[in-house]
Amino acid sequence: MCGIAGALIFDKNLLSADCRATLESSSLRMIDAIRHRGPDDGGLINAPPLWMGHRRLSIIDISIHGHQPMGDATGRFWISYNGEIYNYKELKAELKALGASFRTNTDTEVLLHGFQHWGKALLTKLDGMFAFAIWDRKNQSLWLARDGVGIKPLFFAQTTAGFLFASEIKSLLAWGMTPQLDLDALHMFLTFGYSIAPNTGFSGIQQLQPGHELSVSPDNPKPNIARWYHLPYPKSPTRWSRSESADRLRSSLDLSVKSQLQSDVPLGAFLSGGLDSSAIVACMKTHQRESIHTFTCSFSEASFDESEPAAAVAKCFGTEHHAPRLAADHLEVLLRVIDHAEDPIADNSLLSVWALCQSTAPHVTVALSGDGADELLAGYSTYRATSLSNFFSRIPRPLRQNLFKPLVRSIPATETKYSASMLAERFLIGADRTWPYNHCSWRTMIDSQVSVQVRGKRSEDWVQQGLNAYANTLQDAPPWLSPLEQMLHMDLSFHLPNDMLVKIDRMSMAHSLEVRVPFLSNAVIETALAIPPQWKLRGQRGKLVLRDAMRAMLPSDIVSRKKAGFVIPIESWLRVAWRDLVRNVLSQEFCEETQLLSWPGVRSLIDAHQSNQRNHAYALFTLLVFALWWRRWIQSNQHSVRFLPQTFTRPVAPTRIHTLSDYHEGANGN
């Protein structure tokens, strides 16, 4: 796992000898801005018109031979790569049979030779998570690619000087771009709590969408973007039995975990005590002889605390378990989270994932996580809620509006996880919409009614635009999918890459920690998409097939345990611990300065929540994050980019600057 960045210069005037020192300095700032992604080594290749850099977190072949950017023996092809290719040994053997000669034990060199032999067809052979850039000196062309489901990030920008790319937005800003708000992205953020690819919160900065590749060159400066990946559905519905489905899932997950245990550095696992992470640890135990380090995060608020079931699983498998407690005074953590997330994102579990990664990094360099299982195997309660809402919507609308809504609003607000008042109100909001918007609406952070209150009447259109974008992912779905499978498809295509995977990547890499997601390997995805829907969700039981698959490997109480989630006590924190913060940041001055929010509406929202009249936690947290993000990235950076000081758990290697002749003399470690 690493960080990549580079600049392809189109303006020939900037390539003069007098300007090259400035370009080198700007490129070096890009690399230094993402040192946290790779403290072990750094490199910058000075090869006009391209400056391409890399920060390395050493995982496979931790010797100097893995130094990047890496060139081939002829010096024609150069790569800067972030990620892990789990089938690289098999590909290496295939390439050797084709005549390739290897000088390292890295998966990086496998990508380099793979491109030489297979060209862009290389992508369809890869099983892993990746974002990389390959430069062809002979053809003067740059090729970027991102993994199919979007585990690893890749951002780019077109400037008057040329084309910039990087693993993080702050790297592009470090080049000298002025951060400016993208209003379209803001509308999506204030609907879902995150930006929607390819947009970001910053005008002029885009992200390469999952499963896409991009080509650009000085002769063709407009990026040519194409999609290379589609979810691997079978051609028609399968007729697998329940037991066959469980056997196939268990086998594919076991093989996935086994392949993702390859590492030359210490490796552990996140363990929430839920089914997904417990399944990962159970599979690890069958393949790893040495003690497994497991990590969770505990809360003083009992209904949010997952430490007890996690400890039970840890005891069952004899892991070395770590469970630090997350307190309610984490203002500094919130600011750090906003700094490293870069794009505005209001998933409140970012704070718990930050704490989890912070406590994990001193012990291991790689951690396995259960992310992706809910979207593949129907783990969220929203799938059951959508089915129920389809029946509820048959009740005449006046009755729903005049009877049920007042009843729901009379339910006292509580500070327990997923309180009854919050769940009931969100259900009624979704049930008012037709299919598939009723499902999409579960993901909204600020519903239409509250949005009108704080953003004005026009915001109803913005909310609908967001729901349309979510629902439009179905255009890529096979026509034979059942309603449940259509919901899963939307979440896999929209929510997973724009929220869940962003959260894991930014929070882990902020602590120089690689996180792997075995549920998102090629084999597990292909198996899960083929499993008949009735074995995923039946009645109130989600992830039925995973429970069957793990029944012989996990304690019965874990197998039958309900989905808990890894959220923080956001309702109470906004009322008590962050009470003054909310009022100071979401102020009348802020609303008037930005001209984006209505102060009377925002004040009413704050008053209602902090007086315990209504539970507006999701909406209020979203607005708070936006206000803090604005101050951090827009207001304070109009003239220069200032980054928060970074802390590292180990020494940070300097970035070495090389010319092409340096590499031919052995600076590439060959």
What is the rounded CA–CA span in Å between residue 476 and residue 488? 13
**DSSP secondary structure letter of residue 401:** I
What is the rounded CA–CA span in Å between residue 394 and residue 163? 53
What is the rounded CA–CA span in Å between residue 72 and residue 108? 11
Classify 242-339+346-378+477-559 by CATH class.
alpha beta
Q: How many residues does the chain have?
A: 670
Is the CB of residue 644 less than 8 Å from the CB of residue 633? no
Query: Residue holding tokens 């001209």?
Result: 595
What is the rounded CA–CA span in Å between residue 349 and residue 653? 31
Is the CB of residue 348 less than 8 Å from the CB of residue 567? yes
C-alpha distances (whole Å) from 34 to each of 58, 169, 342, 514 are 15, 9, 12, 14
Which stretches of 177-289 are assigned E, i.e. beta strand?
205-207, 212-216, 224-227, 267-270
Identify the pLDDT of residue 626: 97
Identify the pLDDT of residue 440: 93
* Correct CATH for 2-229+639-667 of 3.60.20.10, 3.30.70.1560, 3.30.390.10, 3.40.640.10: 3.60.20.10
Token pair listed for 477: 């779905």
Which mean pLDDT values do the consecutive 10-residue runs of the chain (670 residues) have?
94 89 95 96 95 95 91 94 97 97 95 97 98 97 98 96 97 95 96 97 98 97 97 97 98 98 94 92 92 84 66 91 73 89 94 91 96 96 80 66 60 57 66 87 90 93 96 97 97 98 97 97 98 92 95 90 72 90 96 95 96 91 96 72 62 85 50
Identify the pLDDT of residue 297: 81
Identify the pLDDT of residue 290: 85
Query: Residue holding tokens 């360099």?
Result: 365
What is the SS3 assignment for 64?
helix
Alpha-carbon torsion (278, 279, 281, 286), positive or negative: positive
What is the rounded CA–CA span in Å between residue 76 and residue 97? 22
CATH 3.40.50.620 domain extents, the chain: 242-339+346-378+477-559
Is the CB of residue 83 less than 8 Å from the CB of residue 65? no
Entry pTM: 0.94
Per-residue exposure over 490-529, b if at least 16 CB sit within 10 Å of its own CB, e if not: bbbbbbbbbbbbbbbbbbbbbbbbbbbbbbbbbbbbebbb
CATH 3.60.20.10 domain extents, the chain: 2-229+639-667
